[in-house]
Structure 1
Amino acid sequence: MRIVLIGPPGAGKGTQAKRLTERLQVPHLSTGDMLREAMRQGTEAGHQAEPFMKTGRLVPDQLVHQLVIERVARADCAGGYLLDGFPRTAAQANMLDKMLAERKTPLDLAVQIHVPKEILLERLAGRGRQDDDELVIVKRLEQYDELTEPMAAYYQGRGTLREIDGLGSPDEVFARIEAELNGVRA
């Protein structure tokens, strides 16, 4: 199963992605993790991404798209995968759809986790990651609203979007996601 997980920073995507990938036995492809690893390793992609990530701006589409293309071509993705952090824009969603169409492996589902902004700010402030200082958090949430919401609308128009309430315990949120998965598989 090929799934895109959508939600603002702090919505619990990482927690839910871990559960989903264990349940479905597919790899978790986090573009944020891929970009941070590229920065740690000092790769060309890492050098290009670093100024964007340190200031809370989105990394250019082409750079992220290239990382994703390389990653989904690996053998462990043949049975499916969960994309987390890509696509973030309608343009990226369109690029992904074209790539998947060329491979004859369409996206099965886009899951969007909704959490109120005040809760997101509380969660992110407690995370302590280097890219989670207050100004960066606010910038990332603004960009999410501007760019990612239209991307979710793109998937809504294609009939693949499922919207999930992200409040409650991780178990409660996962149960909601699982119910949507079961509906798609039925």
Structure 2
Amino acid sequence: MRILLIGPPGAGKGTQAVRIAAHLSIQHVSTGDLFREHIEQGTELGRNARSHLRAGLLVPDEVTIGVVEERLAHPDTGRGFLLDGFPRNRVQAEALDGILAGSKSRLDAVLGLEIPEAQVVSRIAGRRVCRRDREHIFHVDHRPPEAAGTCDVCGGELYQRDDDREATVRRRLEVYHSETAPVIDHYRVQGLVATISALGQVQEVLDRALAALGQGRMNASGTSGRRPL
């Protein structure tokens, strides 16, 4: 299967992408991971990406497309892949269509995660990260530390990242609605889109995702067709 996972920040795409890919035994292709790998390896694509990231700028479409195209050319994606973080706009979506057409393949499904904006703001703005180990993550409401401001695991200081602040989150949502959400429309007319709620426990959302992927190719109205994916 060749799947695109799409949704607003805070919808849990990264968490679900790893689990869905593992369940289906396909490659999880994350643009964030790809950028880090190219930067660490010092490739030309990595140098281009790093120069923009260091300047606080979005990586240009042509660089992002190049990174993804190079990854999809690897033999291990022949059995299928799940794209996480790409395409982010219509230009990238059209480029992906061309890349897949060049290899005589196409996407099998586009899975959209839906979540109310208020929930996105609450999830992200309430997040607190340990300065000693960024893998130690807490939430002021859903997973508060035993001692305020202190990591339960290692005793490090907990802080709010700049990009987790409410004003920043709302700006990220504006970008999503203006640039990334139209990607769903691009694929809806191709009959590929299924949408599920991203609310609930991780396993609940995963169960919904797998059920949606097993229902069949979606038609242009967003309802399930009969043909199995």
For the criterion TM > 0.5, the same-fold answer is yes
- On the 8 A contact 1:55/1:136 being kept in 2, the answer is no
Alignment of structure 1 residues 10-159 onto 2, 5 Å: 10-50=10-50, 52-53=52-53, 58-125=58-125, 126=127, 128=129, 132-134=163-165, 136-159=168-191
Q: What CA distance in whole angstroms lies between the structure 2 residues aligned with 1:139 and 1:117?
A: 12
Which of 211, 214, 222 is the matching residue for 1:182? Answer: 214
- Aligned in 2, Cα 1:146/1:74: closer, same or farther, shift over 3 Å? same
What's 1:172 paired with?
204
What's 2:146 paired with?
none
What's 2:4 paired with?
4
Give % identity: 44
- On the 8 A contact 1:8/1:144 being kept in 2, the answer is yes
* Runs of at least 5 residues in structure 2 that lack an aligned partner in the other structure: 135-160, 217-227
**TM-score, normalisation: structure 1:** 0.88
Using the TM superposition, give the Cα deviation of residue 136 of structure 1 relative to its aligned residue in structure 2, in angstroms.
Answer: 4.6
**151-160 or 49-58, larger mean C-alpha shift:** 49-58
- Aligned in 2, Cα 1:114/1:127: closer, same or farther, shift over 3 Å? farther
Q: What CA distance in whole angstroms lies between the structure 1 residues aligned with 2:13 and 2:205?
A: 10
More helix by share: 1
**TM-score, normalisation: structure 2:** 0.73
**165-174 or 118-127, larger mean C-alpha shift:** 118-127
RMSD: 2.3
DSSP 3-state at the match of 1:78 = helix
- Aligned in 2, Cα 1:39/1:10: closer, same or farther, shift over 3 Å? farther
- On the 8 A contact 1:5/1:111 being kept in 2, the answer is yes
Select the structure with the greater relative contact order (CA < 8 A; seq sep ≥ 6). Answer: 1
Q: Aligned letter for 1:17? A: A
Q: Deviations over 1:60-107 (max 9, x none)?
A: 111111001110111110111000000111111111011111111110
Q: What CA distance in whole angstroms lies between the structure 2 residues aligned with 1:23 and 1:10?
A: 22
Q: What CA distance in whole angstroms lies between the structure 2 residues aligned with 1:112 and 1:98?
A: 22
Q: Aligned letter for 1:61? A: D
Q: Deviations over 1:112-167 (max 9, x none)?
A: 10112222223223164767342553433221111011111111111101111111
Report the number of matched residues: 186
- On the 8 A contact 2:194/2:212 being kept in 1, the answer is yes
Q: What CA distance in whole angstroms lies between the structure 1 residues aligned with 2:189 and 2:78?
A: 26
Query: Does the alignment pair 1:163 with 2:188?
Result: no
